[in-house]
Amino acid sequence: MILDVLRWVGYGIITYFILMQLYLIFLGLMSAVAMRRTHHLNRFGRVGDMLSSQTSPPVSIVIPAYNEAMGIIESVRSMSIVGYPRFEIVVTNDGSTDETLQRLIDGFKLERVRIPYRPDIPTAPVRAIYRGRGSVDITVIDKENGGRADALNAGINAARYPYALCTDADVILDAKCLVSAMRRVVEDRQRTIAVGGNIRPLNGSKVELGHLIRSEVPKRLVPRMQVLEYVRTFLASRPAWSRMDALPLVSGAFGIWKRSAVIAVGGFTTGHMGEDMDLTMRLHRYHIDNKIPYRIVYEPSAVIWTEVPDTLRVLKRQRIRWHRGLMTAVRDFLPMTFNPKYGKVGMVTWAAMFLFEFLAPIIEFTGWFLIPLAFLLGALNVANLVAMLGLALGVGLMSSLLALLLDESFGYFNGPADTARLVVMAFIENLGLRQLTVAWRIRAIIGGKSTRTWGNMERKGVANLGLEG
Amino acid sequence: MSEAKKVLVADDSEAVTTLLVTALEMAGYEVTIAKNGNDAYEMGKTGSFDLALLDHLMPGLLGIEVIARWQADGYEIPVIMLSGVDDERTIVDSLDLGAVDFVRKPFRLPELMARIRQRLRD
Amino acid sequence: MNGTQIALLAVGIVFTVDAVLLLGLITLKAVHRQRMESHDQRRSAFLGVLSRRVSFPLHTDYIDPKVVNDGAFLDAVIDLRNTMAGPEIETLAGIIDRYGLVKQQAARLRSRFPLGRRLRAAVVLAEMGDESSAPVLIEFLDDREPEVRIQCARGLGRMHHTPAIDAIIERFGQESPWVRSRFADTLVGFGAGAVWSLLAYVRVNHDHDEGNEAVIEAIRILGIIGERDVGPALIDLLHRFRDPELKIAAIDALGYIGGPMAVTPLIGFLDADDWRIRNKAAHSLGEIGDPLANDALRRGLEDANWWVRRSSAAALAGLSEGLEVLHQALHSGDLFARDAAAEALADCGELGRAREREEQGQATDADRQLLGFMTEGALVP
């Protein structure tokens, strides 16, 4: 009797993973279809036209900054040359303890001004506001420390334009990213309230004088594994989610948000470790509850580059933080999960987030103990077990290869050696790296002292990537 | 017998560089090409050029940034800015920084060549 | 077959698919690379040949007629076309004509599918900018694919083919917002040549009960083009508009169109019932910059609506003698007027300059008053 139960549970666990990978493959195929059309438009549609267009809506680039004295000037300057007709830069100095503010004042000839700061979203107290007197349209908010979400909210409060690009100080923007993303807004001005962008790890790439010269897959394994993860989600998942009109997450590192919509739902949630996922879902909930037509989309050609954790230690902190953010979100949005009232968001993408992203580490962890136990007790047939594990591995490989194929068809980023490295990565990540991430997420669930969010790598706004398997 | 004058052409558009190289070489100048701002800056430091034609929007350093860095490092290279970006600020900034001329893209080839010949005559 | 065999069969299938995918990836990579390199090489070669032809028309490098089928040749032609503005365009136009490029691309445009090829043909025609392609482009303004329509309009705009203006405006109202905004760009590109057709469009279509977005867009375009001659006609229409949104758009446009004729009517609108109209009127008076408006804007500082006060103050900050008005307003009996004036003085940099002068010991009375009015560190909610 017990043996039967063990057998079903054992096979059940493996079947769960096979189903998850099949779901990913389904998403990948849908992403391929979704991207094919926009690919034509990007190659031949001359998105660059919008660069000189006077009908493009102006954008406020909102950047939270905490102790960024080292690179803040370079960052802001590199953002200031992004290709777009009309935009402003709003930097929030979130109570830095170093010379971030002074560097900004000196570097951009800032002048303190008395501008009404309307806290449409409540934030920590604002100490002063500065405006630049040079050629860059820059506003700096100096406020008391409140965390990344709070800093973003302050920036959004002070932003002059109807759309805000929320990003981070050390992100490198591709020249066309703003035009590509805003194109999605202009397509459907009335309804579009958020646009997500495509994030690629910068590690290992050649950056000179603040500009990306050539992208390369990193030599170290830890960042290289993340390149694969990012390709899987940003090329094989998000386009599909977007097509289904059910994008559950617009990344914090690059998100265009309609200011009025963000203010209507109260801005980013402070102290939340997945504030971007939280805001996206709240926007869904708000607009569905109030029957307001809306859409949240993802644009694969809006590319930006950012540093990802280089070592296991930093990666661990990041993953624990992400998972805690996910846990909070799962709890907050439980009423939406599998709720037909919330359409495809509730029934498909958020349900999948709960089922595959949240439950996966628990189920896998259980499997680590249960399956060997079941096997030892003779409940599992060797051949069956091997076959099913093989199946799980094979299907997992399939979804990775599909993602790499999509990258090749629509991304053109990597040389042949780079692609080879990523393929090898798809094999070897199952030899321990992936298991480590599972262990970390279990750690996150168990809880205990949560680390402070505002630290070196932790303040990265890229919340949960979505299904990683 | 004077040496051929050396010209640096920096633009990421191959059409621009090919056209200019063709016209300049036929006019008897020695031409070097840079495809991005960083290369332009490096070449300018070592090349002892008599004139530089810089695009503004290039990968890497912008045309304006190249001029600024050359000035800061003490290299005196006469620069003609060649740019499709024709907002006033860029023009003013580049002339302020030391460019001797500004030509809008798309440009009229005979006119551009005349200006170049004039610069290189002095 | 028992369960194990099925499972093993499944594993076999899956790994076969994996192998196929892997093979596909490698092949795709290799093919891409090879194609791109070859394309780039050919393009470079064509650029060289065409450059020599253009610089020295008597040069006779032979160009094989078969190149018209080569995408690299088309790219070279387009790229070169985009860099040139002078008489050398004639040489390129001659080449385009001799090799029948327009006819060839038009044929591709006419084919049913695939979308990529048709779109590329439209883009090529648009960027070659050859007058002979105008009839085709006008014909395909009605294509079922929105991106093709956009490129056709774009091409007509680039060659400044004025007969197409009416055709584009005719279709303005039926298009989706995205296409309409791209058409708007094209119309802006036509400049002064388009304003009378736009005005006619507004005149005919403004009286509908709903769906005025296209008309609003047309008015915005008039503002961007900024052709002064159209001012009086627009003012006349302005008084006939029923929809407040249209009024607001027109008042905004007048700010950029300017002209002495606009000032008096705009001053009149500072008394409108709708605060949005008063707000826009104040803003536009600031854009025009005629000191005639000073008195009316002074009254605007005491408006009940915050936005109107702010716009009035900001407008005054930009007007000659307007700064004086603002300084005087610091003494106004109306708290809101004082506040609006102070904000505007801060916004326009006057506060900063006052501070600098004080630091250098050169503060004027007005400066000291201003500084005294401001509370350090306090921010208006």
CATH for C330: 1.25.10.10
pLDDT at A460: 42
Per the structure, the count of domains in chain C is: 2
Question: Is B73 at the interface with chain A, CB within 8 A?
Answer: no
Separation of first and last alpha carbons in chain C: 77
- What are chain C's partners, defined as 3 or more CB pairs within 8 angstroms? A, B
The pLDDT-based confidence of A413 (bands split at 50, 70, 90) is low
The partner residue sitting opposite A209, judged by closest CB among B38, B89, B93, is B38
The pLDDT-based confidence of C127 (bands split at 50, 70, 90) is confident
The pLDDT-based confidence of A468 (bands split at 50, 70, 90) is very low
Instruction: Tell me if B60 and A213 make a contact (CB, 8 A cut-off).
Output: yes
**Chain A contact set for C25 (CB, 8 A):** 401, 404-405, 408, 419, 423
Q: Is A213 left (phi over 0), alpha (psi -120 to 50) or beta?
A: alpha
CA C313, distance to chain mean position in Å, is: 29
pLDDT at A456: 42
Give the distance from residue B46's alpha carbon to the nearest chain C alpha carbon, in angstroms.
27
Domain of C272?
258-381
pLDDT at C379: 33
- What are chain A's partners, defined as 3 or more CB pairs within 8 angstroms? B, C
The partner residue sitting opposite A211, judged by closest CB among B57, B60, B93, is B60
Instruction: Report whether pLDDT(A41) > 80.
Output: no
**Chain C contact set for B105 (CB, 8 A):** 83, 85
For an interface test with C, which of A19, A43, A46 has the most C Cβ atoms less than 10 Å from its Cβ? A46
Pair B55, B11: CB distance under 8 Å: yes
> What is the C-alpha to C-alpha distance for residues A370 and A192, in angstroms, rounded to an integer?
47
pLDDT at B18: 94
pLDDT at A461: 37
pLDDT at A327: 92
Q: Please identify, in words, the CATH class of the domain defined by A54-309.
A: alpha beta
Handedness of CA C182, C250, C161, B111 (dihedral sign): negative
Instruction: Tell me if C119 and A45 make a contact (CB, 8 A cut-off).
Output: yes
Q: For the segment A265-278, what is each residue's pLDDT rounded down to a tens digit?
A: 999 999 898 999 99
Instruction: Tell me if C17 and A55 make a contact (CB, 8 A cut-off).
Output: no
For an interface test with A, which of B45, B55, B56, B65 has the most A Cβ atoms less than 10 Å from its Cβ? B65
The partner residue sitting opposite C84, judged by closest CB among B18, B26, B106, is B106
Q: pTM for the full model? A: 0.85
**Chain C contact set for A387 (CB, 8 A):** 4, 7-8, 10-11
> What is the C-alpha to C-alpha distance for residues C214 and C172, in angstroms, rounded to an integer?
7
**Chain A contact set for B60 (CB, 8 A):** 208-209, 211, 213
pLDDT at A446: 85
> What is the C-alpha to C-alpha distance for residues A56 and A49, in angstroms, rounded to an integer?
10
The partner residue sitting opposite A401, judged by closest CB among C4, C22, C29, is C22
User: Which of C203, C145, C156 lies closest to C179 in space, CA to CA?
Assistant: C145
CB atoms within 10 A of CB A369: 9
CA A248, distance to chain mean position in Å, is: 10
CB atoms within 10 A of CB C174: 9
pLDDT at A449: 54
Comparing A29-33, A35-39, A107-111, C77-81, which segment has the lowest mean pLDDT? A35-39
Closest residue in B to C73 (Cα) is B15
Q: Which helix (H) or strand (E) is C172 found in, with range?
A: none
User: Which of C152, C157, C103 lies closest to C132 in space, CA to CA?
Assistant: C103
Q: For the segment A327-343, what is each residue's pLDDT rounded down to a tens digit?
A: 999 999 999 999 999 99
Give the distance from residue B42's alpha carbon to the nearest chain A alpha carbon, in angstroms.
12
> What is the C-alpha to C-alpha distance for residues C74 and C93, in angstroms, rounded to an integer?
13
Question: Is B95 at the interface with chain A, CB within 8 A?
Answer: no
Question: Is C79 at the interface with chain B, CB within 8 A?
Answer: yes
**Mean pLDDT across chain A:** 87
| Backbone Cα Rg of chain B | 13
Residue that terminates a domain, selected from C99, C116, C145: C99
**Chain A contact set for C8 (CB, 8 A):** 383, 387
Question: Is A4 at the interface with chain B, CB within 8 A?
Answer: no
Comparing B81-90, C43-52, C104-113, which segment has the lowest mean pLDDT? B81-90
What letter does residue C319 receive in the DSSP assignment?
A: S
Instruction: Report whether pLDDT(B21) > 50.
Output: yes
Residues in chain B: 122
Q: What DSSP letter does each residue of A331-348 carry, written as one string?
A: HHTGGGTT-GGGHHIIII
> How is the beta sheet containing A126-132 ordered, strand by strand?
A110-113, A126-132, A138-143, A87-94, A59-65, A163-167, A254-258, A192-201, A295-306, A172-173
Residue given tokens 């990968």 in the structure block = B59
Q: For the segment A449-458, what is each residue's pLDDT rounded down to a tens digit?
A: 554 444 444 4
Extract the tokens encoding A1: 């009797």
CA A107, distance to chain mean position in Å, is: 30
CB atoms within 10 A of CB A456: 10
Q: For the segment C283-319, what is each residue's pLDDT rounded down to a tens digit?
A: 999 999 888 888 899 888 888 888 898 899 889 988 8
Question: Is C52 at the interface with chain B, CB within 8 A?
Answer: yes
Which CATH code of 3.40.50.2300, 3.20.20.100, 3.10.20.340, 2.40.110.10 fits the domain covering B6-121? 3.40.50.2300
Q: For the segment B88-111, what is each residue's pLDDT rounded down to a tens digit?
A: 677 777 788 878 888 888 888 888
Residue given tokens 């996150």 in the structure block = A444
| β-sheet bridge partners, residue A172 | A305
pLDDT at A154: 96
Q: For the segment C204-229, what is each residue's pLDDT rounded down to a tens digit?
A: 888 876 778 889 999 999 999 988 89
Q: Average pLDDT, stretch A426-453? A: 80
Extract the tokens encoding A145: 């420390």
The answer as to whether C29 is a domain residue is no
The answer as to whether C298 is a domain residue is yes
Give the distance from residue B60's alpha carbon to the nearest chain A alpha carbon, in angstroms.
5
Comparing A19-33, A41-55, A256-270, A363-377, which segment has the lowest mean pLDDT? A41-55
**Chain C contact set for A122 (CB, 8 A):** none
pLDDT at C200: 92
Question: Is B59 at the interface with chain A, CB within 8 A?
Answer: yes
Q: For the segment A339-369, what is each residue's pLDDT rounded down to a tens digit?
A: 999 999 999 999 999 999 999 999 989 888 8
What letter does residue C379 receive in the DSSP assignment?
A: -
Domain edges within chain A: 54-309
Question: Among the residues of C66-190, which ranges form H helices?
Answer: 71-83, 88-98, 101-110, 115-128, 134-139, 146-158, 164-170, 177-190
Residue that terminates a domain, selected from C56, C71, C99: C99
Pair B51, B113: CB distance under 8 Å: no
Question: Is B61 at the interface with chain A, CB within 8 A?
Answer: yes
User: Which of C120, C251, C180 lies closest to A186 in space, CA to CA?
Assistant: C180
Between positions 25 and 84 of A, the ones with CB within 8 A of B are 81, 83
Nearest-5° Cα angle at B39, B35 to B40: 80
- Residue C351's φ and ψ, nearest 5 degrees, are -60, -45
| β-sheet bridge partners, residue A63 | A91
> What is the C-alpha to C-alpha distance for residues A13 and A367, in angstroms, rounded to an integer?
6
pLDDT at A189: 86
The answer as to whether C301 is a domain residue is yes
The answer as to whether C294 is a domain residue is yes
CA A129, distance to chain mean position in Å, is: 30
For an interface test with C, which of B12, B21, B22 has the most C Cβ atoms less than 10 Å from its Cβ? B22
Instruction: Report whether pLDDT(A136) > 50.
Output: yes
Instruction: Tell me if A55 and C151 make a contact (CB, 8 A cut-off).
Output: no
User: Which of A175, A183, A431 lies closest to A305 in space, CA to CA?
Assistant: A175
Give the distance from residue C275's alpha carbon to the nearest chain A alpha carbon, in angstroms.
20
Which value, to the nearest 10 degrees, does the dihedral of the CA atoms of residues A373, A376, A378, A381 take?
A: 90
Q: Average pLDDT, stretch A51-61? A: 81
Cis peptide before A372 (omega within 30 of 0): no
The answer as to whether C233 is a domain residue is no
Instruction: Tell me if B18 and C47 make a contact (CB, 8 A cut-off).
Output: yes
Pair C286, C266: CB distance under 8 Å: no
The answer as to whether C47 is a domain residue is yes
Residue given tokens 């590509």 in the structure block = A180
The answer as to whether C268 is a domain residue is yes
Share of chain A above pLDDT 70, in %: 91
Instruction: Tell me if B60 and A83 make a contact (CB, 8 A cut-off).
Output: no
Instruction: Report whether pLDDT(A118) > 90.
Output: no
> What is the C-alpha to C-alpha distance for residues A222 and A440, in angstroms, rounded to an integer?
15
pLDDT at A459: 40
Domain edges within chain B: 6-121
pLDDT at A50: 67
The pLDDT-based confidence of C69 (bands split at 50, 70, 90) is confident
